[in-house]
Amino acid sequence: MNFGGVEENVVTRDEFPLSKALEVLGGETIAVIGYGVQGPGQSLNMRDNGFNVIVGQRKNSPSWERAVADGWVPGKDLFEIEEALERGTIIQYLLSDAGQIAVWPTVKKYLTAGKALYFSHGFGITYADRTGIVAPKDVDVILVAPKGSGTSLRRLFLDGKGLNSSYAIHQDATGRAFERVVALGIAVGSGYLFETTFKKEVFSDLTGERGTLMGAIQGIFAAQYEVLRENGHSPSEAFNETVEELTQSLMPLVAENGMDWMYANCSTTAQRGALDWWEPFKEATLPVFKKLYREVASGEEAQRSIDSNSKADYRAGLEKELKALRDSEMWQTGAVVRSLRPERNKK
- Calpha distance 135→168 (Å, rounded): 15
- Catalytic, out of 47, 121, 210, 229: 121
Pairing of strands 6-7, 2-3: antiparallel
Query: Is 233 an annotated catalytic residue?
Result: no
- Calpha distance 17→182 (Å, rounded): 10
Provide the b/e sequence for 97-131 (b: ≥16 CB within 10 Å): bbebbebbeebbebbeeebbbbbbbbbbbbbeebb
Q: Are 190 and 164 in contact (CB under 8 A)?
A: yes
Helix (H) or strand (E) holding 164: strand 163-171
DSSP 76-112: TTEE-HHHHHHH-SEEEE-S-HHHHHHHHHHHHHT--
Task: Tell me the backbone φ, ψ of residue 211, rounded to 5 degrees.
Answer: -100, -125
Query: For residue 219, which of 275, 285, 276 has the smallest C-alpha distance?
Result: 285
> Cα 291 to chain center, whole Å?
23
Q: Are 163 and 153 in contact (CB under 8 A)?
A: yes
- Calpha distance 263→341 (Å, rounded): 26
Beta-bridged to residue 32, according to DSSP, are 55, 92
Pairing of strands 78-79, 90-93: unpaired
Helix (H, G, I), strand (E, B) or coil at 2: strand
Q: Is 248 exposed, middle or buried (0-12, 13-18, 19+ CB in 10 A)?
A: middle
Positions marked catalytic: 121
